[in-house]
């Protein structure tokens, strides 16, 4: 009897455990598959258009300065944002969740309303990641753009032009040392929006991405359920996200080597290289532009990545790659600087490069952190061996922050970062910079000739939020974990006097995440010299490179060659042959100072509740007073004669510095170039700098410096953890700026 009773009790316990486990598995399945979740609609666009102000709309006014060249006299400057994500991008949807302090989903209609009523833009485009866009979402995206355009009024004079597009998001495979396989991120933009004038499907970058179908379903189920583990009392956003993820993962990949028009509507199309992307766009035959962006951001680009690997007949299309995004809310991708993380050792192996005055490799800093811990207790030789071991571990694994246990983000100072310059991208890759690309020539003689633009890369449905330096986490992408998640994932903070045997991936992720938060800014903009406000005129200006970049403020910029062929002026973006010394005119007018709050028409257009949710009570609201322009800098780049020529000395920045005496009317200066060189293309462009004003993350790492200017600690601007202050926008003075597109000159 006793044995039978014990057996029954044991069987009962087993059954109970089985039931509990079954319920847990069922709960995981229900949560991970998003049962009860909702598929986000495109939203509803406000039906109220914006009233255009003649003074603000027609920016190319004389302002009392001498008349600009005839090429610009009849144009107007229009401002836009050609890089905008809504929460239909998978990463943006994750960032909207409570665990990342998210504010909730922002569908395409939010982006339209923000562009029109909050930012007061003239044009914008939607660019969600193609790797996550389902057929349903693509149909809804196209309709959302049409909805936005329908509100714009007279097509010959719309208040806002909305373009359709997507982002092609490619990176070299994580953990591989094959930088030649890295092509980077590119926005694909279409001129037209009618159903018979755009592709049936967006084209992503192959089988990678957040929801890669190569990841086993059970593993993804655990991940998706785990996102909600601390928010079971507010489960709905996670169920919505998991429903979205399930919709994406249920799609089949399109077959390879099938013409685009013969593929089924419901498959997910991919192109693993730019060449494949260009081929597919050729097959469609619709007017399109492909715009590289975020090129220098080390989170995606591996060390050693270079634009040179893309300058060939297969992976560069000069008819489409006409523009290059040099500045966004993810930082500056413009400058070339010599920044070497490694050098060749005595046996041809890669070893850690020593620091220079302008750059400190993170492998070197890892060694210094170990040295500070071991030099008091070990012999000099043994401590030095540990220092070298730490440095080599970083070189070998590419995981600096995980090599030194117990390190904090501040310990790493300015390592791995472009120093002493304007709002750089995080973990800068100089060979992927716009300047380096402009200096290159391929074996077949081809070169890059692209105009320079800015945009936002905003992931919260907010085009062009750089009109005011506020709301760091809402107007920018400085994501951070909520405090309970931060505490749960925080690695062991115990310092260790030797490098990790195997780098701690969690420590590396957390430190990189926090340091990266200091390198998110508000937004750049693209400006065009357009004949009028129509879609066709804006597209023509973009395609002809009559465009320039700003770091957010609406600086007016003109750059012209005065003595083109037959003494005809030529605008920025022009490519021509010349038999005489070029003469240029540069002109810049500072942006309008902003008034607090929002203009009345924004309040009418959105209503008080939507105005507060989207604009956060702050809109583009210009006064009649402008910021002063302090100087104009001229950059000259002499292209390689052949690929073996060292590109570094060909990039002269600045080549000339032209000071301004701006009394509120801007700055106009003329200057001469140098005689064209035989068999050498030379390009010139200008950079106009405003008087200093405060900017979000203006001093990204906020280094505490000694009297010699050396960085002693780098607290940065955290987005998580005990030092995070949600009210702190980490403002610091910078000189906002505008970069013209180049004028390309060959010898006649």
Output the pLDDT for position 69.
Answer: 53
Residues whose CB is less than 8 angstroms from the CB of residue 525 and which lie 6 or more positions away in sequence, other chains included:
79, 80, 81, 454, 455, 456, 464, 466, 549, 550, 552, 554
**pLDDT for residue 106 is more than 90:** yes
Output the pLDDT for position 368.
Answer: 97
Percent of the chain residues past pLDDT 90, beyond the cut: 76
pLDDT band at 13 (very low <50, low <70, confident <90, very high): confident
**Is the separation of the CB atoms in 408 and 279 below 8 Å?**
no
Q: Are strands 288-293 and 342-344 parallel, antiparallel or unpaired?
A: unpaired
| Average pLDDT across the chain, whole number | 91
**Is the separation of the CB atoms in 310 and 277 below 8 Å?**
no
Output the pLDDT for position 34.
Answer: 76
CA distance 688 to 693: 14
Count CA atoms closer than 13 A to 584's CA, side-chain side: 30
Distance between first and last Cα of the chain: 108
Output the pLDDT for position 19.
Answer: 67
Output the pLDDT for position 176.
Answer: 58
For the whole model, what pTM was predicted?
0.94
**pLDDT for residue 257 is more than 80:** yes
**pLDDT for residue 212 is more than 60:** no
**pLDDT for residue 383 is more than 70:** yes
**pLDDT for residue 707 is more than 70:** yes
pLDDT band at 309 (very low <50, low <70, confident <90, very high): very high
**Is the separation of the CB atoms in 170 and 206 below 8 Å?**
yes
pLDDT band at 24 (very low <50, low <70, confident <90, very high): low
Strand partners, 458: 84
Output the pLDDT for position 25.
Answer: 72
Average of pLDDT values for 473-479?
93
pLDDT band at 177 (very low <50, low <70, confident <90, very high): low
Output the pLDDT for position 219.
Answer: 73
DSSP structure string for 385-421: HHHHHHHHHHHHHS-STTTSTT--GGGGTTTTS--SS
Of 207-221, 315-329, 545-559, the least confident = 207-221
Average of pLDDT values for 576-597?
96
**pLDDT for residue 391 is more than 70:** yes
CATH code of the domain made up of 54-213+253-339+426-480+520-698+728-747: 3.20.20.140
Structure tokens at 476: 């920018």
Peptide bond just before 654 cis, omega within 30 deg: yes
Output the pLDDT for position 747.
Answer: 94
**pLDDT for residue 4 is more than 80:** no
Output the pLDDT for position 54.
Answer: 53
Average of pLDDT values for 44-59?
75
Average of pLDDT values for 20-29?
71
256 or 390, higher pLDDT: 390
Strand runs labelled E in 22-108: 76-81
Residues forming CATH 3.20.20.140 domain(s) in the chain: 54-213+253-339+426-480+520-698+728-747
**pLDDT for residue 70 is more than 50:** no
Average of pLDDT values for 590-611?
96
Output the pLDDT for position 23.
Answer: 66
**pLDDT for residue 256 is more than 80:** yes
CA distance 585 to 42: 46
pLDDT band at 74 (very low <50, low <70, confident <90, very high): low
Structure tokens at 605: 């257009």
Output the pLDDT for position 210.
Answer: 54
253 or 525, higher pLDDT: 525
Count CA atoms closer than 13 A to 290's CA, side-chain side: 26
**Is the separation of the CB atoms in 292 and 321 below 8 Å?**
yes
pLDDT band at 742 (very low <50, low <70, confident <90, very high): very high
Q: How many CB atoms lie within 10 A of CB 473?
A: 22
The pair phi, psi for residue 389, each rounded to 5°, is -65, -40
pLDDT band at 66 (very low <50, low <70, confident <90, very high): very low
Output the pLDDT for position 306.
Answer: 96
Output the pLDDT for position 499.
Answer: 92
| Closest alpha carbon to 169 in 91, 257, 102 | 91
pLDDT band at 271 (very low <50, low <70, confident <90, very high): very high
CA distance 656 to 559: 15
Output the pLDDT for position 478.
Answer: 92
Output the pLDDT for position 62.
Answer: 41
pLDDT band at 211 (very low <50, low <70, confident <90, very high): low
Output the pLDDT for position 218.
Answer: 72
568 or 12, higher pLDDT: 568
Output the pLDDT for position 58.
Answer: 44
Strand partners, 332: 327, 424
Average of pLDDT values for 27-40?
81
Q: What is the pLDDT of residues 439-456, one digit of tens each?
A: 999 999 999 999 999 999
CA distance 434 to 442: 16
The pair phi, psi for residue 358, each rounded to 5°, is -110, 0
pLDDT band at 142 (very low <50, low <70, confident <90, very high): very high
Strand partners, 250: none
Output the pLDDT for position 567.
Answer: 85
Average of pLDDT values for 507-519?
90
CA distance 324 to 4: 78
3-state helix, strand, coil in the chain (%, to 5): 30, 20, 50
In whole angstroms, what separates CA 710 from the centre of its chain?
A: 29
146 or 227, higher pLDDT: 146
Output the pLDDT for position 215.
Answer: 63
């Amino acid at each position: 009897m006793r044995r039978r009773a014990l057996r029954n009790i044991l069987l009962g316990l087993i059954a109970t455990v089985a039931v509990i486990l079954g319920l847990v598995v069922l709960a995981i399945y229900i949560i991970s598959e998003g049962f009860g979740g909702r598929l986000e609609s495109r939203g509803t666009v406000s039906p109220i258009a914006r009233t255009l102000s003649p003074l603000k709309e027609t920016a190319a006014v004389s302002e009392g300065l001498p008349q600009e060249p005839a090429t610009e006299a009849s144009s107007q400057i229009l401002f836009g944002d050609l890089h905008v994500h809504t929460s239909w991008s998978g990463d943006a949807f994750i960032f909207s969740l409570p665990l990342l302090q998210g504010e909730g989903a922002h569908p395409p209609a939010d982006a339209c309303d923000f562009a029109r009523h909050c930012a007061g833009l003239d044009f914008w485009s939607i660019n969600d990641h193609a790797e996550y866009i389902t057929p349903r979402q693509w149909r809804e995206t196209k309709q959302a753009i049409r909805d936005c355009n329908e509100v714009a009024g007279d097509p010959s004079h719309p208040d806002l032009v909305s373009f359709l597009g997507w982002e092609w998001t490619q990176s070299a495979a994580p953990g591989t040392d094959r930088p030649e396989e890295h092509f980077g991120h590119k926005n694909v933009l279409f001129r037209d929006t009618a159903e018979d004038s755009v592709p049936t499907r967006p084209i992503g970058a192959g089988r990678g991405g957040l929801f890669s179908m190569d990841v086993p379903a059970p593993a993804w189920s655990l991940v998706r359920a785990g996102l909600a583990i601390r928010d079971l009392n507010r489960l709905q956003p996670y169920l919505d996200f998991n429903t979205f993820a399930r919709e994406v993962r249920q799609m089949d990949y399109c077959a390879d080597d099938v013409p685009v028009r013969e593929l089924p509507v419901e498959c997910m199309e991919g192109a693993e290289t730019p060449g494949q992307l260009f081929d597919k766009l050729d097959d469609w035959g619709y007017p399109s532009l492909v715009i590289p962006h975020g090129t220098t951001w080390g989170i995606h680009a591996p060390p050693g990545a270079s634009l040179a690997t893309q300058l060939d007949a297969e992976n560069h299309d000069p008819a489409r790659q006409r523009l290059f995004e040099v500045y966004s809310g993810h930082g500056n991708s413009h400058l070339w600087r010599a920044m070497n993380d490694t050098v060749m050792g005595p046996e041809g192996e890669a070893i850690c490069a020593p620091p220079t005055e302008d750059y400190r490799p993170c492998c070197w800093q890892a060694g210094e952190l170990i040295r500070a811990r071991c030099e008091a207790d070990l012999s000099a030789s043994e401590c030095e061996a540990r220092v070298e071991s730490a440095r080599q571990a970083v070189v070998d694994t590419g995981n600096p922050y995980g090599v030194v246990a117990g390190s904090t983000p501040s310990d790493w100072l300015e390592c791995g970062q472009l120093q002493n310059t304007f709002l750089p991208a995080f973990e800068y890759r100089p060979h992927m910079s716009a300047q380096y690309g402009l200096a290159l020539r391929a074996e077949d003689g081809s070169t890059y000739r692209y105009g320079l633009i800015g945009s936002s890369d905003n992931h919260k449905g907010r085009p062009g939020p750089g009109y005011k330096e506020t709301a760091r986490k809402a107007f920018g992408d400085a994501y951070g974990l909520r405090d309970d998640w931060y505490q749960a994932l925080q690695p062991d903070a115990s310092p260790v006097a030797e490098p990790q045997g195997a780098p701690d991936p969690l420590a590396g992720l957390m430190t990189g995440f926090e340091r990266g938060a200091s390198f998110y800014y508000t937004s750049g903009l693209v400006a065009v010299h357009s004949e009028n406000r129509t879609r066709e005129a804006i597209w023509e200006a973009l395609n002809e490179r009559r465009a320039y970049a700003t770091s957010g403020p609406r600086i007016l910029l003109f750059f012209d060659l005065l003595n083109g062929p037959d003494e005809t002026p030529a605008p920025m973006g022009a490519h021509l042959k010349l038999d005489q010394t070029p003469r240029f005119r540069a002109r810049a007018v500072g942006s309008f100072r902003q008034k607090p709050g929002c203009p009345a028409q924004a309040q009418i257009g959105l209503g008080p509740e939507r105005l507060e949710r989207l604009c956060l009570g702050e809109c583009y609201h210009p006064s009649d007073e402008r910021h002063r322009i302090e100087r104009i800098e001229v950059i000259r780049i002499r292209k390689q004669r052949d690929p073996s020529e060292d590109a570094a000395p060909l990039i002269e920045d600045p080549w000339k510095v032209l000071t301004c005496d701006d009394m509120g009317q801007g700055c106009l200066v003329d200057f001469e170039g140098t005689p064209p060189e035989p068999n050498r293309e030379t390009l010139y462009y200008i950079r106009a700098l405003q008087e200093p004003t405060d900017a979000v993350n203006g001093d990204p790492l906020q280094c505490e410096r000694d009297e010699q200017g050396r960085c002693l600690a780098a607290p940065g601007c955290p987005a998580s953890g005990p030092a995070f202050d949600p009210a702190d926008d980490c403002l610091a003075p910078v000189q906002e700026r505008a970069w013209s597109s180049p004028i390309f000159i060959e010898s006649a």
